[in-house]
Amino acid sequence: MGILERHPKDALLRYLDGVMEAEERRTVEEHLAGCTECRDYLSFVRGFNQNLAGLSKEEFTSDEPCPDSWTLASYEAGKVDEETARHLRAHLLFCDACAKEFYALRRVSREESWSELIERLKEFVIDLLKSYGPGALVGAVRIVAEQPAFAVRGGELPEAVSKVLEVHVGENAYSLELKVTEQGVACDVAGFRTPIKAPLSISVHSGSGEELISTQSDEFGNSHFSIPTSPPPDDMHVFTLTLQGAEQQLLFRVPESKPPA
């Protein structure tokens, strides 16, 4: 089913810009939790936000013919000139068929680099079941507070499992709380030192590279969302925070069992 049949693109763009009522926003977020196609579309738009400002009205509503696969592959690899790239960006925003092909090319091209990223981050993986102690450093991330589970891995968790982390992205600092629930992992992001007042781009991928969440905070870095998991969970997840070109990534491990209600 195409994006237009699920959620009109103008609604997704309004969601991205934060210009919709709370009820409609909740409806869109519920849909995005289960729709990879719409999440891919939002991810694509976020990736080109700076370039969109330079598109003319004619380009933004372009009805140009679909490019061939070779052109799309060259564009994904960054091997086309800027003039061609501008036309392709406009076309991909409104052509479902070409967008699907582009997303597929992107996924294939990053498979090797994704596995390399996981291997690099594994040295500093944050295990939500492990007790680190307040103030402990795991790579570039500081453990501020935690509520560990006193149970063996795979067993029933007697209480909530959570970690509060201090994460730096460029000049800004954020607190990131990860709390295991029966629905998945609840996430709270809050800026506590933000000299740069700008939305923070947030994404979460599974260990296999599937995008689970793609969202933005407000200008102060505040955001709340849940990462859906299904049994058995992919226990490795990659959290990526991006602010005006600065990026911070962390790898965390999800418990195999959920805490009781």
DSSP state, residue 176? E
pLDDT score recorded for residue 3: 41
Radius of gyration of the chain (CA): 20
User: How confident is the model at residue 4, as a pLDDT?
Assistant: 38
Q: Residue 64 is part of which domain span? A: 3-111
Same domain membership, residue 194 and residue 172: yes
Q: How far apart are the first and last CA of the chain?
A: 36
* Predicted confidence (pLDDT) at residue 142 exceeds the cutoff of 80: yes
Q: What is the C-alpha to C-alpha distance for residues 214 and 154, in angstroms, rounded to an integer? A: 29
Q: Please name the residue that has the structure tokens 């330079």.
A: 54
| Residue ending a domain, choose from 47, 77, 111 | 111
CA distance 24 to 67: 34
Taking residues 124-141, report their average pLDDT: 88
Final residue before a domain boundary, out of 84, 111, 138: 111
Residues whose CB falls within 8 Å of the CB of residue 112, separated by 6 or more in sequence, listed in order: none
Taking only the tens place, the pLDDT of each residue in 178-226 is: 988 777 889 999 999 999 998 999 999 888 888 888 899 999 999 999 8
What is the CATH number for 215? Answer: 2.60.40
20 vs 33 pLDDT, higher one? 20
Choosing from 70, 89, 111, the residue where a domain stops is 111
Residue matched to tokens 């006193």: 150
